[in-house]
């Protein structure tokens, strides 16, 4: 899920090359448009960066703060932030290569270390990041809590369920299955765990397999959460060598008993976000995940 704009220039007419030069203090010597929101820019001295045009100050601030917070853990690799403001984000360009089992195991270990770096509370935003952030194009409020089942229900699942019902994407009668999962979360959530430092939008598109054999993560919706949520999102949309990732993860931080049976509970949040953004097909997947959780 991506928080991007369909235009490449700001309201003041500034383009990505000019923005990169202004934010880095280095002259731009070339640019290559990759999409409406992403441009590869070459700077004086040969540094090549990715320049991203955000939807607004909240989206750009949240992403930049998230990248820095995750990088501060010294675990998973992320593209370095070279500059950001209310409209533009300038980061390292990642040279990509093929996925490999060896890189996957290392990524799993690094992801476990990232989660282990912790967060002040469930829902805690990155330092300097806004409370009102985004996951993709959907608003995501980083209200904090100390009890994961209650926080997850109140601040992750139910807000998107209500939006989906209001839009007619989920029928009111169907919503009761998701509401019942939320009511039963204290028993469905497994053993209590401390807040983990989450990427927060860890689908396969945000996992870049580097040409140097190391994985890098992009486009975070970083916050304090339950570590199983990141792992459940990796499974939701498929990730190359996922079992190797999980093997590496468990070498560093074993998962609590019954974690595999809780995957659907953790997938409710991203599925409902997708239902709000993309429609009925994802709503049906969310409802199926809720029913599986209720029937065990």
Catalytic center residues: 201
Answer yes or no: are the C-beta atoms of 163 and 276 closer than 8 Å: yes
Measured between alpha carbons, how far is 143 from 123 in angstroms, rounded to an integer?
A: 5
Q: How far apart are CA 225 and CA 120, in angstroms?
A: 10
Q: Where are the alpha helices (DSSP H) in the chain?
A: 16-24, 57-72, 101-116, 148-152, 158-166, 172-188, 227-236, 242-252, 263-278, 280-295
Q: Which residues pair with 88 in a beta bridge?
A: 53
The DSSP bridge pattern shows strands 38-43 and 28-33 to be: antiparallel
Query: Measuring CA to CA, which residue among 120, 167, 116, 180 is closest to residue 144?
Result: 120
Tokens matching residue 239: 């990730």
Question: What's the token pair of residue 35?
Answer: 């999409």
In the structure encoding, which two tokens stand for residue 262, read together? 């809780």
Gap between the Cα atoms of 263 and 276, Å rounded:
20
The 3-class secondary structure across 152-219, one letter per residue, is HHHHHHHHHHHHHHHCCCCCHHHHHHHHHHHHHHHHHCCCCCCCEEECCCCCHHHEEEECCCCEEECC
């Amino acid at each position: 899920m991506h928080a991007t704009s369909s235009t490449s220039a700001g309201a003041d007419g500034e383009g990505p090359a000019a923005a990169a030069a202004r934010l880095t203090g280095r002259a731009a010597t070339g640019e290559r448009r990759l999409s409406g929101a992403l441009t590869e820019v070459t700077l004086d001295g040969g540094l090549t960066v990715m320049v991203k045009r955000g939807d607004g100050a909240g989206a750009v601030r949240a992403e930049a703060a998230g990248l820095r917070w995750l990088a501060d853990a010294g675990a998973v690799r992320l593209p370095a932030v070279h500059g950001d403001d209310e409209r533009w984000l300038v980061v390292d360009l990642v040279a990509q290569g093929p996925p490999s089992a060896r890189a996957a195991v290392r990524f799993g270990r690094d992801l476990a270390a990232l989660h282990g770096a912790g967060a002040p509370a469930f829902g805690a935003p990155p330092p300097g990041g806004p409370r009102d952030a985004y996951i993709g194009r959907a608003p995501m409020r980083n209200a904090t809590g100390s009890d994961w089942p209650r926080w997850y229900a109140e601040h992750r699942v139910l807000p998107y369920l209500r939006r989906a019902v209001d839009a007619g994407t989920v029928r009111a009668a169907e919503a009761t299955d998701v509401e019942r999962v939320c009511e039963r979360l204290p028993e469905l959530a497994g053993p209590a765990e401390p807040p983990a430092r989450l990427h927060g939008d860890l689908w396969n598109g945000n996992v870049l397999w580097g040409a140097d054999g190391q994985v890098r993560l992009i486009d975070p919706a970083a916050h304090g959460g339950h570590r199983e949520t990141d792992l459940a999102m990796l499974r939701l949309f498929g990730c190359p060598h996922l079992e190797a990732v999980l093997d590496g993860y468990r070498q560093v931080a074993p998962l609590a008993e019954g974690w595999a049976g809780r995957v659907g509970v953790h997938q409710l949040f991203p599925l409902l976000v997708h239902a709000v953004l993309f429609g009925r097909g994802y709503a049906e997947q969310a409802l199926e995940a809720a029913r599986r959780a209720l029937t065990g």
